[in-house]
Amino acid sequence: MSNPDSTALTRRRFLTRGVMTAGAVALPYYVPAAALGRGATVAPSERIVMGGIGMGGRGSSDLRWMLNEPDVQWVAVCDVRKGNRLAAKNRVDKKNGNKDCAEYIDMRKLLAERTDIDAVLIATGDRWHALASILAMRAGKDVYCEKPACFTMAQGRQVVETARRYGRVYQTGAQRLSEANHVFAIETARSGRLGPVHTVYADIRWRDGYRHDWLPAQKEPPRDEVDWNIWVGPSPLRPYNAGYVNGSGWYHFYDFATNVAMWGAHTIAQALAGLDMTDVHSIKLEYAGPRKTMVTRLSNGVKMVLFRVDGSVWKPCKYWHGACGERFEGPEGWVAAADGYARPDVSSPEILRDYKKVLAEYAGRTQRPMSHVRDFFDCIRSRRPAVANPEVMVRSMNICLAVDICEQLKRSVTFDMRKAEFVGDAEANRMRSRAMRVPFTI
């Protein structure tokens, strides 16, 4: 600002004021795109300044997605792997037309030094998601965190509490909550068009994350190439092996991965979004054996079937024909959606005739765009909760993690959704948290 005494509300003063008033004043839910200049040149003072933590794999995809937003300015990237850092930096520099994007190996240094950054993308491995989110929010950053958003139930609750305490906007990467076909299926169920929903299905394709051994030791590369200590982070320090860091080899090991949440973080959130959860206080999980479809029963009488398909994620099933599907059934019919659909599957053409109307009603009621990252950026400005906010995240993640615990114990369990604890099961309750390796602790 050229005049420090000016009363004009710049972007930075707006964001700061939003934090100061969080919980005290209800800020506007929506800032029209035209008011921000989107679609034309956006003034530097109106830009949301971004950094990225974890820039390989999913982080690379998210970066490409977010770089398309004209009111977002990327200035820094962080990854423990040199190849990921350089690729992300080059992409940002190309977009910005300069060589100014900063590189970091250690996210803690980025958070400490870059006071200019408003928000961060977190797309590390599972073990880092909650810890990185908490550290970022403590540093005053809003957070877009990839799923699975927490490693344990205890960590998930700490994410919720941190976002509330520091007044931060948080969005987890359950992007299908912002995609038209899934929104239609969810809204069709939620609005009563199927009658009272009695059964919902969610795709939880098997992911073998239960190995308790570890790979043989190999010589560690130079820290600049791969910082193994930071890569491991809060997990137990195992010997370096390239099989963990090249591709998705770490997926299969209990030390580094969740299991059901790989897909369930999406699909269980989608299933719950179409249900009235106000009266749900518990869920019973019926153990059916390893790698088997699991039937769960919500305390409001709804049956939620966690459908599991071995092999290819694209393998057809009788409930949907793509990945990350959900299906709602009621006395008046059913609706299902999954990736790759032109339109959702429905029990009768009459349900689909209201496709545009249902989406228009959703947009009018929620004032949300059909874009998950755009919803995040709009919420940074308005300071309202994102569509996949911490409470949405922790509810679906608790069910995912409860399924993991049920399958490790090889017996049925009942989980109290409100207390976030298993009913009368001390052994299961001890599994709600894991030790975190010093100094990577909360």
Q: What is the pLDDT of residues 117-157, one digit of tens each?
A: 999 999 999 999 999 999 999 999 999 999 999 999 999 99
Segment holding 52, helix H or strand E: strand 48-53
What is the spatial distance between Cα 259 and Cα 121, in angstroms, rounded to a whole number?
22
Task: Kindly give the parts of the chain with pLDDT less than 70.
Answer: 1-41, 206-209, 310-316
Identify the burial level of 343 via C-beta atoms within 10 angstroms of its C-beta, where 0-12 means exposed, 13-18 middle and 19 or more buried: exposed
- Asked if 183 and 343 count as a contact pair (C-beta separation under 8 A), the reply is no
Positions of E strands within 198-249:
199-203
Using alpha carbons only, give the angle 232, 238, 239 rounded to the nearest 5 degrees: 110
Q: Which two tokens stand for residue 89?
A: 């930096």
Q: Tell me which amino acid residue 139 is.
A: A
- Summarised one tens digit per residue, pLDDT across range 360-407 is 999 999 999 999 999 999 999 999 999 999 999 999 999 999 999 999
pLDDT at 316: 65
- Asked if 264 and 204 count as a contact pair (C-beta separation under 8 A), the reply is yes
pLDDT at 42: 73
pLDDT at 109: 98
pLDDT at 32: 43
Quote the pTM value. 0.90
pLDDT at 1: 32
pLDDT at 154: 98
Domains in the chain, please, with CATH? 11-176 (3.40.50.720)
pLDDT at 403: 96
